[in-house]
Amino acid sequence: MSPVVDQNVPKLGVRNTRQRTAVVNVLQELDTFASAKNIHREITDRDLNVGLTTVYRTLQSLAEIGAVDVLQMTNGEALYRHCSTEAHHHHLVCMKCGKTEEIEGGPVEEWAAKVAKEHGFALTGHDAEIYGTCAECSEDN
């Protein structure tokens, strides 16, 4: 079974292969950050033949062009998510179920610029993610 090629899928290089389309389609359907292994497992569950190395390479290429957000976990694992906006944003991440909400930075943006300036830095970027427990998981306790 061949995946449908979504015209909104960013091209990586000169060809938009079925393997790359499979990775992007899975990312677009997930509402959580996911590891390359979990994305590969989802692709395999759909009976699509995409190697784990190809998944890693595709995710890296998507991250380089800003088509996915990447969270670096404390254990060194990278988690990936397709975001609905191209504008700079941050995330609320549930530590129980992985549910993720995109949020604006608000005061974080001003704070980052101020701190960089105070220390003689030219701000080139920052990351700020908020971790906690979503309402649904909190109700389960």
Give the residue ranges of the annotated binding site for Fe cation.
Answer: 88, 109, 126
DSSP code of 3? P
| Predicted TM-score (pTM) of this structure | 0.69
pLDDT for residue 13: 44
pLDDT for residue 54: 93
pLDDT for residue 51: 94
DSSP code of 11? P
DSSP code of 96? T
pLDDT for residue 2: 40
Domains and CATH numbers, the chain: 1-83 (1.10.10.10), 85-141 (3.30.1490.190)
pLDDT lower than 70: segments of the chain:
1-15, 85, 141
Q: What are phi and psi of 16, to 5 degrees?
A: -105, 95
Edge-to-edge strand ranges of the sheet holding 129-132: 100-103, 90-94, 129-132
Which distant-in-sequence residues (6+ apart) come within 8 Å of 18 by Cβ?
2, 3, 5, 48
pLDDT for residue 141: 65
Q: Which of 100, 123, 110, 16 is nearest to 65 (CA)?
A: 16
Give the residue ranges of the annotated binding site for Zn(2+).
Answer: 94, 97, 134, 137
Write the pLDDT tens digit of every residue in 109-138: 889 999 999 999 999 888 788 889 999 999
- In DSSP terms, 93 is beta-bridged to 100, 131
Give the residue ranges of the annotated binding site.
Answer: 88, 94, 97, 109, 126, 134, 137
pLDDT for residue 43: 95
